[in-house]
Structure 1
C-alpha cells in the first residue's frame, strides 16, 4: 500500500518548473493569482495542510499558528528570512520551520553593488533627464557623481551576503570595513581585506558608503536610527538590500531632504509597500521594488530547496534547512 501524499499549500505563485515538481511529489494546492493570501485564507490553509509554503508577504504569527490544529507539521518557507514567522511558537506546537538560505547570496550582493554604483554615479537622475527629454548634450560639469574606487565601504552584517558584497567591493577598489555580532575568523577577514569595527557608531562616522546586510531581529530594529544616521558624513550614502526595519525610514527621509546625507539606495522599506511619499519624491535616492533576489535562477533554486526540505521531512528526517529559535 502506497503512503498517502502530503498535503501542501503554497501561498504565492512560484516559477512553473517549481510548481510542476511540487505537484508531481505532493498533494498540492497552488495559488491561482499572484496576490498575497488574506488573513482568512491563511487561517484556512494552515488548518487544511500538512505543510504550508509561505513567503515574506505572509505574516505567520502566534495567533495564526494557534489556529493550526494538529495537522500542520512543517512550515517550509520560500525565502531565507523568517522574521515573518513566529518560529518559537511553531516549535512549541511541534511545527518545524525551514527556509532557503544561500541561494540568493550572489543575486542580492550584485544588486547591492548596483545600488552603490547607481547612487554614487547619480544614475537615477540621469535616467530622469533622458526620460523627460531634457538632455541638451554632454557638459563638463553635468551630473557629476563620485568615483567608488578608494571609498570606504562599511558593511553592517557580515554573513553570506555581506561577505559577497565585500568581494565585489574589493574588485571595485573599495576599502572594506564591517560591523558584525561576532568578528570573522582571521583567515576570512584577511581574504576579504576587511577591517573590523566593534563599535558601530565609530564605523558609521568614518564611512563613505554604508551597506545594510543584516537580518531583521528585535536587536536590529532601527539599528540605523536617527542618532546613528546623524553620525554619517554629509557626503556619505547608504544602501539597504536586507530588511527595511533596520533603518528608521522617516529619520532617513528627513536627513536626505536636508542634505545631511548625500544619497540612498533602497530595495526594502520599513512598512512594506507603504513608502514615505516624501522619500519617493527625492532625486538623491534610488528606490527599487524589492528586486534584490529577483533572478529566475535564484527563484528556481529557492523552490528546489523548499522541495528538498519537504521531501526530507516526508521521508522521516530533519529538513536540511530547519530553523530553530536559537539560530535567530
Structure 2
C-alpha cells in the first residue's frame, strides 16, 4: 500500500497517547500503538521526538500525514491550536489545523469553545469524536454523551456542533475515591457492582442532594451492608446519576443520544441513561476518533 493511501491519526490527551494507522479508502485501522505518555509525562520539546519514535516506521520518510487531536493542542501540549467558536463542522476544523513544530507533514486539530453571557466552556478532542459518531451512526443530527474525566454532552445539528456542556464526573470520582473518608474503602480496585451502582443512582435523586448522597457511601458501608468492594460502584452511581439528572433538567426534550466511550464506561452510563428513560446508541470512542479525524484529514487534503 502506497503512502498516499494511508493516514496516521493520534488522540493525545493529558494521560494517554493513542495512535492509529488508517487505510484512507476504507477507514480501516491497520495498526495501533498506545502508551501512558500523556501531557503530564512530557516537556514541550519532547513531543516531536516522542511522536516520531512511536509512529516513525509508519511514515515512509514523512509522506504519510499525521493528524493529532486532544490536549496535545493546548498551551500545556505540543503547540497551541485555536479553540473555534460554535457552531463548528469538520470542514471548519480542517480549515484551522496547525502545523506541528518539529515534525514534517503533521497537523494539530483545533478544539472548540462556547463563551457567552450564560455559558463558558471549552473542549479538545471530544469534538472530533462527536463528529465521528455522526458518521458512524449515519445521521446529521444527534445529541452525544462522551463520558470521561471531564464528560461532555454535545448537541449536533446539520453535521455541526451547536452547543455542549462539560461535567467533571470522572475527576470528581477519582477525588472522592482517593481523597475523602467516604471513599476510603474503595482505594483498591474492585469489579463493577451493578447493585451498588443502582443504589448510587437512586441516592442521586434524593431531595437531600448529591453532597449527602456521596456521604452515604460511608454510612451505608457502616450500617446498610455496602461492602468495601461495592463502595466505588456506589460512588460512581451517585456521580453519574447526578450528571444524567442535571442534563435531563437542562435538556427536557431529550429522548435519545449517542453514547461515545470505551466499553468500561459505556456499561454504567447505559444503565444510568436507560434508567432515566433515554434511548441509547453505544459507539466505541476509538472508532469515533478514527472516523472524525479521517474526515478532517480528507477535508484538509482537499483544500
Q: Report the TM-score range of the alignment, normalised by the length of the smaller protein.
A: 0.3 to 0.5
Structure with more strand by fraction: 2
- TM-score (normalizing by structure 1): 0.31
> Larger C-alpha radius of gyration, 1 or 2?
1
Structure with more helix by fraction: 2
